[in-house]
Structure 1
Amino acid sequence: MNSSSPIASLTKHLWSMMYYFVRTYIWLSLIMGISITFLMAHLVFWYLDSEQLERFVSSASQTSQQLHSNLVTIFTHSNNTCSEQNLITMREDLWRAPLIKDVVHIQDGRIICSASWGNLEAGLVLPKPTIVWPERGLQHWRAVKDPIKGDIQVNMVSDGAVAVLIVPDNAYASIPSNYPNTGFILSTEDNRYVFHASGPMAPENVLTQSGSSWRLLLTQQCNTSSKALECVTAYNAAPGLFGKGLWFISVVGVLSLAISALLHSSILFVIHQKKSLKRALRRAIATQEISVLFQPKVCLTSGRTIGIETLARWHDKHFGHISPDIFVAIAEKNGLMPQLSRLVIEKALYQASSLLKTDSNLHLSINLSMSDMSDPSLLSFINDHCSGHRIPAHQLIFEITENSASGFEGIESSVARFTSCGYQISLDDFGTGYANLSWLSKIKATEIKVDRSFTQMIGDQDPYNRNTLSAIFQLLKDLNISTVFEGIETQEQAEYILRHIPHATGQGWLFAKAMPIQEVARFINTPNSSIQHNADAAR
């Protein structure tokens, strides 16, 4: 019983961890799925409501402008009399203005004649106007009973002795009224007076808003002229999902659950993929499936291959070709760098040993991270393999690359251990990230590798890039240190580098791609015509 208790406890603990893990990702997927779906739906319908509102305010503005044009025509034609000829003119204007109910003449606060009813002998008393603009000679009555028939409410506007009767519901009948939660307001330019309003909100609650908000969508167009200063404001009181019915929100909710399930599956797939890659990399290192290729480093002046750089490659039977940027990052994150670095070093020294013995001036470059450099056992490992293959230390260059500032303080002592054994040090990716002058002062490198991003600036006409490139080349001249340019792909790039730094070394597809060691030997013994062309052009 005692022996089985720890096992049962461990099993229970594992199940508890698994349950917590699954539950966490289910809730995370659910929250993300619902949030994304509702947010996207809200934004889509907000956009559609905004487009609809633009059409709405455009229609209202056109009606308002047409009405204003009719008013201008009527006020211009009037001669302030109720003569038969003037009544004929008033009737003709009225027939040409379908948005207007009637045209009347006013005298001493009474209507004395009408285009529809002719002369009114007794006259009809007008109610007090809602607002008066003395400076413009305008008066406006809002929502008053028709002074002639008294059967409906009208709006009236007068200019001097001529007044026009407007039935708002008829005048604005052409404006679509089936938009839910939508309304429009016809007001003065300063929004202090409302000529007409329709919709679910009180006009003052809309006009006091400075603009659209998350609960109110509005737009405004103004028609300013010498006589009329009018603005049409259209609004949606419940934009986006706020204005949709419960059934519609339920559909979005169901869709969000489907997206949550998809997100959950995707998250689990990515996690599984990463774990699978980690397991596959661990297995690839253990079974030595990581291979190495070599890319030549060429002297731009003579065209001679002076070195080769080791490049790790991994091709998995399930995942296919995996970029070094991916599997090196996985190795660093999961503590596999010591094993990976040792495997690459071991294969590089074994495969390149014959070539290095044949040409004592040829050097082999191998990339190391700061974690590798600070590992004392790695230096012993390198010394043992160099001794076993009888490779002199001076033929090895270790390129230091680092993605963070960690280890910066101890870099000087770490490098010193390598240089004391006769190995050379190169600062990789110079000019980017943490590979800068601060590192150079600590490392005391014998070589600098300029990042390919600077090589790609060559030929760029952008003033900033040209100035940056000029500054980098001047710095390299002042440092007076062996320089390697990465990523050379064109003749123009090679010629430019050769003109500015004659003793530079080049590396890139213009000369050769990464290749197996057998092809390196053939490449070294084959004259490179592009190098000679570069040298001639530089002269």
Structure 2
Amino acid sequence: MLIVAQAVLYVEDSESTESIAEAVVARAETVSQARRGASDAALRSTFALCSDADIRALKEVAFDSSYMSDVGRIQDDHLLCSALWGRIVPFKLPAPHYSSGETKLWNTSDLVGSPYGGTNLIAQGRTFTVSSPSSFDGLDPARTSTFTVETRDRSYVFRRVVAATDVSENTSSRIGLSRCSNKANACAFVSRPRRGVWDLAPSLLYTITGLGAALGIALSYLLIRRNRSARQTLQHRFSLAMRRNEIRLVYQPLYTVVDRRLVGFEVLSRWTPPGEGEISPGIFVPMARQLGLSSDLFRYVLSKALREMAPALAGANAPYLSINAEPVDMAQEETVRFVASVTRQAGVLPDQVRIEITEREELVCPGVTAHMAALAALGFRFLIDDFGTGSSNFSHLAQSPFIGIKIDRMFVSAITEESPLRPVLPGMYQIARQLGLEVIVEGIETPQQDALLQKVAPSAVGQGWLYGMPVPAEAAALLAKSHNGDEPFTDP
């Protein structure tokens, strides 16, 4: 019976690893296509190298390119200018890690002193592109896999993503799989721990062991399929939790950086099953997305937040609520009617509802941009969440009615460190302000970060543990009532 149980686990682990490998290859193809498109567009420019007109053209290319963090010019193996940095002191490149024809590749870890890190720089002719450091984030939400993206001959590693958990590197207890693209010179090599029957819950293991021969084989298979992982168990329970109104909400305050004035709250969901500890949103939010429950979660959070906070949002200078959403949440035909209806029923003004769109993929779902435009016409406001990661870029500001961006926390943590990413936040802030966009900076945790942000991003709105922890609705309402919109609010 234990042999049967182990066989079932073996099959499930193989299927899961194969799915991750295919997802990595698909993302590699998308990034490769985006790079070629950006490079080709930049090469078509006829302006003088690194002239003001040329840099403006580079910015247009960068803004229109997903998964690219920068596009620039190179001459005689020197970086001369880019969309993000403008003209720079010529930076001498070392010998490339990999070359094929006119294409040359460098890992940015070898470009000491350059403004790039954690990614790749690819030069073609007089143009170079830099892919986003987070291009391959989110492909394994559980983060139990280690994978690399390499050339077919394994002579160059584009990206390496390491599992978050400390697992054994013993090859006998791991499963490895590789998949190669038919469209690009890229292969995915995935490694993840192989589960054994000893990893099952003790009660389940004892039950399997004690079952009789014929009945035991059948029941052990069913028990494992039912308990194939804690994650699958959570899926069913999460669906019930939404129906039973068990998902609670907390509200993290948003303050102006320059004078610490309360302007709004981000609404965050929390799940603590009865009799158990809290389950991280990092687990159940991706799970809802994979189950097709993302839109249900968005509607649940929006309607519950409006019910809980409506009284605190009344009156002049009242704060707004910021709700997280996925592009797919905007795709359904009844989205506009639902959002407008629950907001009106709560007695809240549309411009007091901000919807943060998390762009893990392009806005390609049918109807997304049209529905967003319809909501924007009613007064609702949209921001790009986690800006600077994945596929988020300034081009989407032209495609959809975004009025601002939320800069990801990894760029905040970098501003007080000796990091290649240190100049990124000031650069994005300046570009956003020139475009007339609102800027929210998340993840402010230290006084040093706060002091520096007051200098480099004074008109931004800040969010983080230093400014205020997420609090229940009652405490958030007290914060809102204590704020009169004229004087800076000091958190007691």
After TM superposition, the score normalised by the length of structure 1 is 0.48
1:513 and 2:469 aligned = yes
For the residues of structure 2 that align with 1:271 and 1:318, how far apart are their CA atoms? 22
Structure 1 residue aligned with 2:431? 475
Q: Name the structure 2 match of 1:25.
A: 8
Write the mapping of 1:308-327 to structure 2, written as runs, cut at 5 A: 308-317=265-274, 319-327=276-284
5 Å-filtered alignment, 1:336-375, equals: 336-375=293-332
| 1:29–1:292 distance in 2 versus 1, CA, 3 Å | closer
Match of residue 523, structure 1, among 479, 489, 492: 479
Tell me the equivalent position of 1:271.
228
Identify which of 229, 240, 246 aligns with 1:289. 246
Q: 2:385 aligns with which of 428, 432, 440?
A: 428
Q: CA deviation at 1:379?
A: 2.2
**Alpha-carbon contact 2:312-2:318 (below 8 Å) kept:** no
Structure 2 residue 360 is matched with structure 1 residue 403: yes
* CA deviation string 1:409-462 (max 9, x = no partner): 754323212112211111111111122122222123112111111111111123
Supply the distance in 1 between the matched residues of 2:489 and 2:314 (Cα, whole angstroms).
30
After TM superposition, give the deviation of residue 508 of structure 1 in Å. Answer: 0.8
Q: 1:22 to 1:454 in 2, by over 3 A?
A: same
- Structure of greater relative contact order (alpha carbons < 8 Å, 6+ residues apart): 2
- 1:507 CA drift (Å): 0.7
Q: Please state how far the C-alpha of 1:533 moved relative to its aligned partner.
A: 12
Q: Match of 2:257?
A: 300
Q: Give me the whole-angstrom Cα distance separating, in 2, the residues matched to 1:291 and 1:399.
A: 19
Match of residue 262 from structure 1:
198
SS at match of 1:271: coil
Letter in 2 for 1:422: G
Shift of residue 488 of structure 1? 0.7
What pairs up with 1:384-395 in 2 under 5 angstroms? Answer: 384-395=341-352
Conservation of the 8 A alpha-carbon contact between 1:477 and 1:501: no
Question: Contact 1:29–1:264 at 8 Å: present in 2 too?
Answer: no
Give the Cα separation in 1 of the matches to 2:241 and 2:463.
Answer: 29
Code of the residue aligned with 2:471 in structure 1: it is: M
Overall identity of the aligned pairs, in %: 28
1:522 deviates by 3.0
What's the CA shift for 1:28?
A: 4.1
Q: Which runs of 5+ in 2 are unaligned?
A: 16-194, 206-223
- Asked whether the 8 Å contact 1:411–1:442 carries over to 2, the reply is no
2:409 matched to which residue of 1? Answer: 452
Larger radius of gyration: 1
Indicate the residue corresponding to 2:444 in structure 1: 488
**Letter of the 1:434 counterpart:** S
Identify if the C-alpha distance between structure 1 residues 446 and 23 changes in structure 2 by more than 3 Å, giving closer, same or farther. Answer: same
Q: Which residue of 2 aligns with 1:220?
A: none
Cα distance in 2 between the residues matched to 1:27 and 1:467: 46
Where does structure 1 lack aligned partners over 5 or more consecutive residues? 1-20, 33-258, 535-539
SS of structure 1 residue aligned to 2:345: helix
**Partner letter of residue 289 of structure 1?**
E
What is the 5 A alignment of 1:129-278?
A: 261-262=197-198, 271-278=228-235
Shift of residue 275, structure 1, vs aligned partner: 2.3
Mapping 1:47-126, distance limit 5 Å? none
Alpha-carbon contact 1:328-1:337 (below 8 Å) kept: yes
Cα separation, 1, equivalents of 2:429 and 2:365: 26
Task: Work out whether residues 314 and 348 of structure 2, in 8 Å CA contact, stay in contact via their aligned partners in 1.
Answer: yes
Q: How many residues of Structure 1 are paired with residues of Structure 2 in the alignment?
A: 286
Counterpart position of 1:498: 454
1:302 offset after TM fit, Å? 3.0
CA spacing shift, 1:425–1:261, aligned 2, 3 Å: closer
Return the TM-score normalized by structure 2: 0.52
Deviations 1:179-216 (A, max 9, x none): xxxxxxxxxxxxxxxxxxxxxxxxxxxxxxxxxxxxxx
Deviates more, 1:358-367 or 1:264-273: 264-273
Aligned to 1:150: none
Contact 1:25-1:264 within 8 A present in 2 as well:
no
Q: Secondary structure at the match of 1:498?
A: helix
> How much is the aligned-residue C-alpha RMSD, in angstroms?
3.3
CA contact (8 A) 1:304 1:524 kept: no
